[in-house]
Amino acid sequence: MLDVVCTAGAADRPFEEEHRGFCIAAVTAGTFRYRARQGTAMLAPGALLLGNPGTCYECGHEHGAGDRCLSFHFGPAYVEQIVADVPGVKTLAFGTPRLPPLPALAPLLAEAEAARETADTDAFEELGLRIAGAAVAAASSAVHAAGSPSRRDQKRVAEAVRRIELDAERPVSLAELANETATSPYHFLRTFRHVAGMTPYQFLLKTRLHRAAVRLRRSDETISAIAFEAGFNDLSTFNRRFRRVMGEAPGAYRVRRRG
């Protein structure tokens, strides 16, 4: 596992690199444009970058400076073993450049980020295997929109994603985000969903729940304090949404994960 921190910005010209093996990178902060043989996509927090061995790629930051990823690398033989144990999956190559933030991956990514923050390096061998299995299964059944989003649309969504990240603890309205990108709310909603793989509100909730999950693993603060600081005004709403995404109540999640 590599903790990749990039500080490139709009003034830095992207250069071509090559994936030596399979790459699955979880974006934990920032946004960037990823171009590979499978297509072009805008990567935002919670998304997974997918790379195939021997393919060339570029990462660009014309829409905002910097990003951070947890990057896992696997040899073809290792991934072949994973594919053999995932029902319904027969191919080794990823057909899409990324997976959007998916509810099924949320618990894994929160666990991985918490392990990074606590320097729990022993956990990453198992985490990498679990993330690879989940990515292979999700990529095999993903439904992709026809065509790649324009650079203008990617720029608009990247700006909105960074805005949501900065203000995730407070209400952010669709009209407000659309106004900042000089588009109508309906057009902005369609554009955001096409580029990011979810709606702005879903991304806001994902960001809040992810931050709360990481803090539950690392902090002794009360659940209510964590919920309110993450942006939830009602504890019962937080408990319900946390259980729906993470599969268990916040208290049980804290006890089991920390135990």
Using 50, 70 and 90 to split pLDDT, how confident is the model at 84?
confident
CA 255/CA 133 separation, integer angstroms:
25
Mean pLDDT of 89-93: 80
Mean pLDDT of 177-188: 85
Length of the chain: 259
- The separation between the first and the last C-alpha atoms of the chain, rounded to the nearest angstrom, is 23
Q: Using one digit for the tens of pLDDT, what is the confidence trace for 92-149?
A: 889 999 999 888 888 888 888 888 887 777 778 878 888 988 888 888 766 444 456 7
DSSP string of 170-239, one letter each residue: S---HHHHHHHTTS-HHHHHHHHHHHHSS-HHHHHHHHHHHHHHHHHHH--S-HHHHHHHHT-S-HHHHH
CA 149/CA 152 separation, integer angstroms:
8
Which of 28-32, 85-89, 93-97 is least confident?
Answer: 85-89
Does 24 have pLDDT greater than 90? Answer: yes
pLDDT number for residue 145 = 43
Does 56 have pLDDT greater than 80? Answer: yes
Per DSSP, helices labelled H in the chain are 76-84, 106-117, 124-141, 151-166, 174-180, 185-196, 200-218, 223-230, 235-246, 250-258
Q: Using one digit for the tens of pLDDT, what is the confidence trace for 146-165?
A: 456 788 888 889 999 999 98
Taking each helix axis from N to C terminus, what angle separates 76-84 and 124-141, rounded to the nearest 10 degrees?
70
Q: How many CB atoms lie within 10 A of CB 102?
A: 19
CA 41/CA 79 separation, integer angstroms:
23
- Residue 163 tokens read as 């805005």
pLDDT number for residue 246 = 87
Query: pLDDT exceeding 70 applies to what percent of the chain?
Result: 96
According to CATH, what is the number of the domain 2-141? Answer: 2.60.120.280
Residues paired with residue 74 on neighbouring β-strands, in sequence order: 22
Q: Is the pTM of this model over 0.75?
A: no
216 in Cβ contact with 226 (< 8 Å): yes
